[in-house]
Amino acid sequence: MRPIEPAAIHEGARRVVYGAGQDQYMPLPATVDGTGLVQTEWEPSAEDLGRLFAGGRLRIWLYTFGHPLQPITVEVADPIGEAIVH
């Protein structure tokens, strides 16, 4: 999977790129609002889709660096990128 530019911006959010200009990180396009809600979108490869269609699981790795775990939501968005209000 690769991170892509979010298709929709949630209310009150602005576009950012985390890790931009930092060679040790893959740039992560995102939107973020004043409450700290960050949205990213990821595009699965054909191989990823094949695994999922064959019953594979979506695995999420969270790098907390020893800090408390933050709440997350995982969803599958429509291809048109409709905004979902949380």
Q: Which pLDDT value is given to residue 25? A: 87
Q: Global pTM?
A: 0.77
| Polymer length in residues for the chain | 86
CB 15 within 8 A of CB 9: yes
Residues of the chain with pLDDT under 70: 80-86
> How many whole angstroms separate alpha carbon 10 and alpha carbon 12?
6
> How many whole angstroms separate alpha carbon 67 and alpha carbon 31?
22
Calculate the alpha carbon distances from 38 to 6, 17, 18, 47, 71 in Å. 11, 11, 11, 27, 11
Query: pLDDT tens-digit profile of 29-47?
Result: 999 999 999 999 999 999 9
